[in-house]
Amino acid sequence: MTTLSPSGFLRIGTAELEYRMIGPAPSEAPTIVMLHEGLGSAALWGDFPDRLQGATGAGIFVYSRAGYGASTSVPLPRPLDYMSIEALEVLPAVLEAIGFRRGLLLGHSDGASIAAIYAGGKADHRVRGVVMIAPHFVVEDMGLAAIAEARKAYETLGLKAKLSRWHSDVDNAFYGWNGAWLDPEFRHWDISDYLAYIRVPVAIVQGSDDQYGTIRQIEIAKEECYCPVEVTMIPRAGHSPHREAPQVTLDSIAEFAKNILFLHEGSEGRAA
Strands of the sheet with 229-234, listed across from one edge: 7-12, 15-22, 59-63, 31-35, 103-108, 127-133, 202-207, 229-234
Mean pLDDT over residues 234-239, rounded?
96
Confidence of residue 2 (pLDDT cuts 50, 70, 90): low
Task: Check residue 1 and give its pLDDT.
Answer: 47
What CA–CA distance (Å, rounded) separates 169 from 137? 28
Give the pLDDT band of residue 269 (cuts 50, 70, 90): very low
The domain segmentation of the chain, as residue ranges, is 7-263
Mean pLDDT, to the nearest integer, of 43-49?
Answer: 97
The predicted-structure confidence for 149-179, as pLDDT tens digits, reads as follows 999 999 999 999 999 999 999 999 999 999 9
Query: What sign results for the dihedral spanned by CA atoms 233, 154, 171, 190?
Result: positive
Note if the pTM is more than 0.75.
yes
143, 212 in Cβ contact below 8 A?
yes
Work out whether strand 59-63 and strand 15-22 pair parallel, antiparallel, or are unpaired: antiparallel
**For residue 33, what are the β-bridge partners?**
61, 105
Task: Report whether pLDDT(80) > 60.
Answer: yes
Overall average pLDDT of the 66-87 stretch: 98
pLDDT at residue 4, rounded to an integer: 86
Is residue 271 pLDDT above 90, yes or no?
no
Note the pLDDT of residue 231. Answer: 97
Helical residues (DSSP H) of the chain, grouped into ranges? 48-56, 82-85, 91-98, 110-122, 141-156, 159-163, 170-181, 216-224, 241-244, 246-261
Assign 69 a pLDDT band (cuts: 50, 70, 90): very high
Q: Which residues are within 8 A (CB) of 29 and not within 5 positions of it... i.e. 6 or more apart? A: 23, 57, 58, 59, 270
What is the CATH class of 7-263? alpha beta
pLDDT at site 265: 53
Q: Which residues contact 153 (CB under 8 A, 6 or more apart)?
A: 159
Summary mean pLDDT of the chain: 95
Looking at the chain, the whole-number percentage of residues with pLDDT higher than 90 is: 94
The pLDDT, as a whole number, for residue 13 is: 94
